[in-house]
Homo-oligomer: A and B are copies of this chain.
């Protein structure tokens, strides 16, 4: 089981969420909590937006907790939108090209979960990837294949529909091969402005996904926090598991829903594979 977080809002040093607080993402990677039985030591990745349209990546095959470069970068780099992902391999090789987030142009993608029976389905799924996208597949994970299917199905113009078609296609392909519940996922994707976060599984029993509470509400709840006071009202964090211990800070995304973090009011919509 992987762990991830997506941050959008006032620029902060990455270390604020990755390293510093109790139950930070890196702390989570070291200490299994919430019933996860294995550690997340199979590499990690960070993707962040700076001045350019295209995000930058730092991805490593070492455990996040003992990577010194990660600590340096997390302290030295501030960003208004970043993704971080900590990997527990479900079987594919431990290599940089298999670590999340994946990037295509100005898009990022990361995934917690798996496509069941992926070794058997891989060929058929890859065949459905658009010819022009095929050569940018560099690794061997189910997650990267899903990303390229979503791009094929129009991620850049209508992200929710594209992911719905992707999941529908994977489920159909899987079921044809006798796999009962092909998809288990929480997925985050972004174009550098809006963040889409999906929670879905074929069996209706998806891994956890949380949105931070609206900043104005949170500030009202914790007027003493100078840290919160510095964050814009539009600041949001989406995580696979809650960070820190701030009461009232986290709201679970319901089954089969997609949350959309965007300028103006955020949205929560039902998600249904097509």
Closest to A129 in B: B123
Of residues 127 through 177 on chain A, the ones whose CB sits less than 8 Å from some CB of chain B are 127, 131, 134-135, 137-140
A254 interfacial contact with B, CB 8 Å: no
A242 at the interface (CB under 8 A from B): no
Q: Which of A42, A77, A123, A127 has the most CB of B within 10 A?
A: A123
Whether a CB of chain B sits under 8 angstroms from the CB of A93 is yes
Q: Is the CB of B95 within 8 A of A72?
A: no
Q: Would you call A123 and B138 a contact (CB within 8 A)?
A: no
A206 sits at the interface (CB 8 A): no
Asked whether A66 is an interface residue with its Cβ less than 8 Å from the other chain, the reply is: yes
Q: Does A230 contact B (CB under 8 A)?
A: no
Q: Are B135 and A123 in contact (CB under 8 A)?
A: yes
* Residues A97 and B135 in contact, CB atoms below 8 Å apart: no
| Residue in B76, B89, B97, B135 whose beta carbon sits within 8 Å of that of A93 in the complex | B97
Contact A96 to B68, CB < 8 A, known contacts A39-B30, A123-B131, A140-B138:
yes
**8 Å CB contacts to B: which residues of A232-269?**
none
Given contacts A30-B38, A59-B69, contact A97 B96 (CB under 8 A): no
Name A's B-contacting residues (CB within 8 A): 30-32, 37-39, 41-42, 48, 50, 52, 56-63, 65-66, 68-69, 72-73, 75-77, 89, 92-97, 119-120, 122-123, 126-127, 131, 134-135, 137-140
Q: List 20 A-B contacts (CB under 8 A).
A: A41-B63, A41-B66, A42-B63, A48-B76, A56-B75, A57-B69, A58-B69, A58-B73, A60-B69, A62-B62, A92-B138, A93-B95, A93-B97, A95-B95, A95-B96, A95-B97, A97-B140, A122-B134, A122-B135, A137-B140
